[in-house]
Structure 1
């Protein structure tokens, strides 16, 4: 199983100190494109985030790929490149948060999971308690700029049973 990672979940999971949750996915191959790697390790990352990301990225496959033929022009070049790679290499799963990217991936036949899905999977697998997942969600929203609708927030909290 191939999982291709977009930047946003890597950034938020690093901010939360939860990059290890990606290991809960049923995969033997995690791929991060070089353009995504460059983005997440950019100047906006804190020292702590860079250390965590550098360690994580050393344990996954980095792919050099620059074709960005798929997706809407409203997506970033990195998002379009990630989508194009995922489609061309028949990824089994795309780790992405951006709603438009996820919708287009689904149209292309690629299932997606994002930061919220990983938090919920962690609860399901016993890696996090529901309380820990909610605390991470609240911290992501309040401190790290994670955007989520009030309706989706309520749905996630209800699904966590808290």
Structure 2
């Protein structure tokens, strides 16, 4: 069976942690990679977001790995409008021959997709978990995300509601 790899950015990890769904990553993927710069961002935000303890706990499991990007020149050449974590996710994806890059930022997703990178966001991950039976209360979780500052357009919210109704 093929191992399915995902490389994660900071904000999706923070949002998944905020709704107690970090474990969804290990249910959906064989290998979960966190680039060093993403981990550094989590360390800086960890106290406020209460995520550092959870991430450190996950990194003790076999499926979770910190990743050091090898091609630092590629990272440096892409910095500018994108954050270092987003860039390291993209370069890590390519170096690891990963299956998904977990990114929420639209600019980062567009750049990644222009490079042939298969992206998924927090909502897509939750929807995938719903389809696979790991998430029962999808709309409630999305509402919790919104209350915690996650932005979603009314159009996307409506489409997800339609999908949930169709899949029930």
Q: Please, what TM-score do these two structures have when normalized by structure 2? A: 0.83
Aligned to 1:80: 87
Aligned to 1:57: 59
Flag as ranges the 4+ runs of structure 1 deviating above 6 A.
none
Q: Does 1:151 align with 2:155?
A: yes
* C-alpha distance in 1 between matches for 2:109 and 2:84: 15
CA shift digits 1:106-130 (9 cap, x unpaired): 221121111101111111111122x
Residues 160 and 71 from structure 1, CA distance in 2 versus in 1: closer, same or farther, beyond 3 angstroms? Answer: farther
Bigger shift: 33-42 or 9-18? 33-42
Q: Does 1:140 align with 2:142?
A: no
Q: CA deviation at 1:41?
A: 2.7
Q: How many residues align?
A: 158
CA-atom RMSD in angstroms: 2.1
Structure 2 runs not aligned, ≥5 long: none
Q: Secondary structure at the residue paired with 2:59?
A: helix
Which residues in structure 2 correspond to 1:33-44 (within 5 Å)? 33-43=35-45
Asked if the contact 2:59/2:65 (under 8 Å) is kept, the reply is yes
Aligned to 1:14: 17
